Amino acid sequence: MADTRAGAGGVGAANRYKPRSMRDAGRSFRRFWPHLRHHVRPERRLFVLGSLAMLAEVGMRLLEPWPLKYVVDGIVAATGSTAAGPVPANLPAVILLAAGSLLVIVLLRAAAAYASTVCFSLAGNRVLTGVRADVFEHLQRLSLRFHDGSTTGDLVTRLTSDVTRLKEVSVTAMLPMIGNVVTLVGMVVVVAVLDPLLALVMVVVLPVFLLTSSRLSRRIRHVSRDQRKAEGQLASLATETLGAVKVVQAYALEDRMGGRFERSNSSSLREGVRAKRLSAGLERSTDVLVGVATAVVLFVGAQRVLDGALTPGELTVFLTYLKAAFKPMRDIAKYTGRIAQAGASGERVVEVLESRPEVTDASWARPIGRARGDVRFEGVWFSYVPGHPVLRGLDLTVRPGERVAVVGASGAGKSSLVSLISRLRDPDEGAVRLDGHDLRNLTLESVRRSVAVVLQESVLFHGTVRENITAAVPDATDAQVERAARVAGAHDFVTALPDGYDTVVGERGGTLSGGQRQRVAIARAAMLDAPVVVLDEALTGLDEQTEHEVVDALGRLTRGRTTFVITHDLDAARGCERVVRLDGGRVVASGPPEVVLGDGADLPPVPLVGDAGDPKEVASRGA
Ligand SMILES: Nc1ncnc2c1ncn2[C@@H]1O[C@H](COP(=O)(O)OP(=O)(O)OP(=O)(O)O)[C@@H](O)[C@H]1O
C-alpha cells in the first residue's frame, strides 16, 4: 500500500532526511552509492587512470619547491653563510639543473593534472548521465499516487538542475578535493621528516580548519536544501502557468501569477545569497587561518635557521609548502560549500530513486495474451485518502464485447472505477478481474495492452502524427497506421496536412484542433487493437459537427470490444447496451438504458456503432 519509502504523498512531503554533519554527508553518500554503483563499475578503468594521474600530480606538487632549496642553499653558502652547509662544487651547474628540474616538474604536473581532469570528468559525466536516465525512467513508473503528491516542476528540477549540480560538483569539486587532501597529507609528512616542530604548526592548524569547515558546511547544506526547495516551487509555478497560458490570459491572471512567482523567486534569491555568504565566510576564515600559520612558521622557522637546525633552503621549501597549502585549503573550503550544496541535491535525487512504485508486477505475474474482454469488479473498495473510500464494495460484471455506459453524479467515482481497469491504481480491497484473472496476477504491460483508453482531453506528444499514432506499437507498418487512422476518421485530414503523417504536432498536440487531436488519439487507441476500450468523457467539449465525426470514429473503434463509456451525456448513454449508475461508491442501478434512464422522451439514442446510423439523425440529435 505504501507508495514510497519517502512518503506516500510524493517527494514534496518527504524531506524527512536531514543531514546534520560531515558524518551525515558520508551517510548521504552511502545512501546514494547503491544507485551509483552499477554506473561506476563500467568506468572503473577511467577512475583508476584518473587516480594514478592525480597521485602523480600530487607528487609533482610536493617536488616543485625542492629545486628552490638547492639554489637558495647554494647561493647562501656561496655568499658566506655557514647555515646552508658547504658550497657546492659546481654552483652554476646546480643552479642550471635546479631550473631544468623545475621546468620538467611543472610540465609533468600539468600533464598529470590534465589527464586526471579528463579521466574524472569523462567518468563522472557518464555516471551521472546514467543516474539521470534512471531518475527519468523511475519517475515514469512511479504510481499515480506518488505523482498526485508531487508537482511536475519540482520533479523536473530534481531531474535536471539537481542532477546537473551533482555532475558539476563531482567533477569540479569532489575529485579535486580528494587531490587536495592527499597533497596536504603529503606536505605534512615531508615537513615532519625534515623538522617535526614546524610540522606541528601545520598540524595544529588542520583541526581548527576542519572544525570551522564542518560547522559552516552543515549550515550551507541546510540553506541549500531550502534554496533547492524554493527553486522546485519556482519551476512548478512556471510549469503550471505556462502550461495554462490560455487560461492565464483569458482571466487576466498575469499580475497574480507574477506576484506568486515573485515571492518564490525572492525566496530562492534570499536562500541563494545566504548560501553564498556562508561559503564566502568559510573561504575567508581559511585565508586568515593559513595567514596565521605562515606567520608562525616564518617566525619559528627563522629561529631554527639561526640555531642551525634548518638550512635557509629548507625554510624556503616550508614556506612554499605553506603557500601551496593555502590553495588546497582554500579550495577545500570552497569545495566543502559546494559539496554541501550538492549533498542537498543528492538527497532530492535519492528521494525519487528510493520511492517505490505502488503498482508493480508481482514476481508471479504472467502476461495474459489475447483477452476475450470479460471484466469483473468483485467487492472493490478504493480510496485516495485513507478512511475516505470512493468505491465501497462495488460489484460489476461486464461480458466480452458488451458496451456499458457508466453514469452518476460528478465525483461519484466513474473515472476512479475505470482507472482500476487498466491498473493505473489498485483496489484497497476486492479484485478487478480480466477473463477471470486478478489484474495483480498479470503483467502490467499485458494489462495495459489489453485496455485502450480515450480521454476527454486527449494529450498528444510533441512529434509527428505517425509517432503519436504508433506510440504504443512503435514497429507498426504504414498500412497498419493508415488502417488505424481510417478507423479514427483521421486519414483524410492527416493527408491534407502539409507533411501528411510526418507533420509535427506541437507540444500536447497544440497545432491540431480539438476534434483532430481526439481522432489522432482514437487512432492511437485503435493501433492497440485491445479487447477492452475505455472512453472517459471522450465526447465532451466538441462542437456538433466534430462530435458527429468523433462518435463515428468511436463507434468503429469499439465495435466488437468490451466498452466502458463514462459520460454525463444521456444521449451517449442511450447508445449503449447497458447503463450502470454509480452512487455512494456502489452500483445502484444496472440495466437497459430505457430502464435506468427512463424512456428519454423525445430524444433518439446515439448509436455508438460502426456505421453511426443516419448522419442526419445524428446531426439533428442535439437540435
Ligand atoms: N487524484 C485524486 N486524489 C484525491 N482524490 C481524488 C483524486 N481523483 C479523484 N478524487 C476524488 O475521488 C472522487 C471520485 O472522483 P472521480 O474522478 O472518480 O469521479 P467522477 O465520477 O469521474 O467525476 P466527474 O464526473 O466529475 O469526472 C471525487 O470525490 C474526487 O474528489
Name the pLDDT band for 606 (thresholds 50, 70, 90): very low
Residue closest by Cα to atom 24 of ligand 1: 410
Mean pLDDT of 438-449: 90
Cα–Cα nearest to 400, from 423, 367, 434, 424: 434
The mean pLDDT of 13-37, rounded to a whole number, is 59
Which is the closest atom of ligand 1 to the Cα of 413?
Answer: 18
Q: What is the pLDDT of residues 182-216, one digit of tens each?
A: 887 888 888 888 888 878 877 777 777 777 777 77
Which residue has the least CA distance to atom 6 on ligand 1?
A: 384
Same domain, residue pair 194 and 317: yes
Helices (H) and strands (E) in the chain, counts: 22, 12
DSSP 198-223: HHHHHHHHHHHHHHHHHHHHHHHHHH
The pLDDT tens digits of the residues spanning 388-443 come to 999 999 999 999 999 999 998 888 888 899 889 988 889 999 999 999 999 999 99
Please write the tens of the pLDDT for every residue from 66-115: 888 888 888 887 776 665 566 667 878 888 888 899 899 999 989 998 99
Instruction: Choose one of 142, 145, 392, 416 to mutate for the ligand 1 pocket test, by most ligand atoms within 8 angstroms of C-beta.
Output: 416
| Count of domains observed in the chain | 2
Q: Is 540 in the pocket of ligand 1 (CB under 6 A)?
A: no
pLDDT tens for 114-161 read: 998 888 888 888 888 888 899 898 888 887 878 877 777 788 888 888
Domain presence at residue 360:
no
In contact, 520 and 464? CB cutoff 8 Å: no
At residue 74, the pLDDT reads 82
Which CATH number covers residue 560?
3.40.50.300
Beta bridge partners of 451: 532
Has residue 6 been placed in a domain? no
Q: Is the pLDDT of residue 328 over 80?
A: no
328 and 388 fall within a common domain: no
From CA 566, how far away is CA 572, in angstroms rounded?
9
Q: Within a domain: residue 364?
A: no
- pLDDT at position 78 is 77
Q: Tell me which of 415, 534, 581, 582 to substitute to probe ligand 1's pocket, judged by most ligand atoms within 8 Å of the beta carbon.
A: 415
Are 414 and 317 members of one domain? Answer: no
Interval between CA 144 and ligand 1 midpoint (Å): 13
State whether 145 and 234 are in the same domain.
yes
- Residue 370 included in any domain: no
418 close to ligand 1 (CB < 6 Angstrom): no
Across the range 278-285, mean pLDDT stands at 78
> Do 383 and 312 fall into the same domain?
no
Q: How confident is the model at residue 333 (pLDDT cuts 50, 70, 90)?
A: low
Spatial distance between the Cα atoms of 542 and 600, rounded to a whole number of angstroms: 22
| CB distance 412 to ligand 1 below 6 Å | yes
Residue position matching grid coordinates 579528463:
118
Q: Same domain, yes or no, for 517 and 560? A: yes
What is the pTM for the complete model shown?
A: 0.67
pLDDT number for residue 4: 39
Same domain, 162 and 196: yes
Give dist(CA 506, CA 465) in Å, integer: 10
Nearest CA to ligand 1 atom 31: 411
The band of 574, judged by pLDDT with boundaries at 50, 70 and 90, is confident
CA of 430 to the centre of ligand 1 (A): 20
Q: Please report whether residue 368 resides in a domain.
A: no
Locate the ligand 1 atom nearest the alpha carbon of residue 144 and give its number.
1
Are residue 350 and residue 379 in the same domain, yes or no? no
pLDDT of 360-395, one tens digit each?
888 898 888 888 889 999 999 999 888 899 999 999
| 286 plus 405 within the same structural domain | no
pLDDT value of position 104: 93
For residue 189, report the distance from its CA to the centre of ligand 1, in Å.
Answer: 69
Together in a domain, 347 and 381: no
Give the Å distance between the CA of 612 and the centre of ligand 1.
Answer: 31
Distance from Cα 523 to the centre of ligand 1, integer Å:
27
Q: What is the pLDDT of residue 111?
A: 94
Residue 490 has pLDDT above 90, yes or no: no
Residue bearing the CA closest to ligand 1, atom 23: 411
144, 381, 384, 391: residue to mutate for ligand 1 pocket, most atoms within 8 A of CB: 384
Taking CA atoms only, the protein residue closest to ligand 1 atom 27 is: 410
- Give me the domain span that covers residue 392: 375-621
Report yes or no on 248 lying in a domain.
yes
> Which residue owns the Cα nearest ligand 1 atom 7?
384
**Ligand 1 near 408 CB (within 6 A):** yes
Backbone angles phi, psi at 430, to 5 degrees: 80, -175
Residue 18: pLDDT above 80? Answer: no
Residue 2 counted as domain residue: no
ipTM > 0.85, yes or no: yes
Tell me: do 337 and 418 sit in the same domain.
no
Query: What's the CATH number where 161 sits?
Result: 1.20.1560.10
Whole-number average pLDDT of the chain: 79
- Alpha carbon distances (Å) from 92 to 66, 67, 70, 87, 98: 17, 13, 11, 11, 10
Whether 10 is in the pocket of ligand 1, judged by its Cβ within 6 Å, is no
C-alpha closest to that of 584 among 440, 433, 413, 361: 413
When pLDDT is averaged across residues 278-301 and rounded to a whole number, the result is 80
Query: Looking at residue 428, what is its pLDDT?
Result: 92
Q: Would you call 80 helix, strand, or coil by DSSP?
A: coil
Q: Residue 3: inside a domain, yes or no? A: no
**Does 166 share its domain with 228?**
yes
The pLDDT value recorded for residue 127 is 87
For ligand 1, pick from 377, 392, 414 the residue to mutate: most ligand atoms within 8 Å of CB: 414
How far away, in angstroms, is 418 Cα from ligand 1 center?
11
Instruction: Tell me if 468 sits within 8 A of 520, measured CB to CB.
Output: yes
pLDDT of residue 33: 80
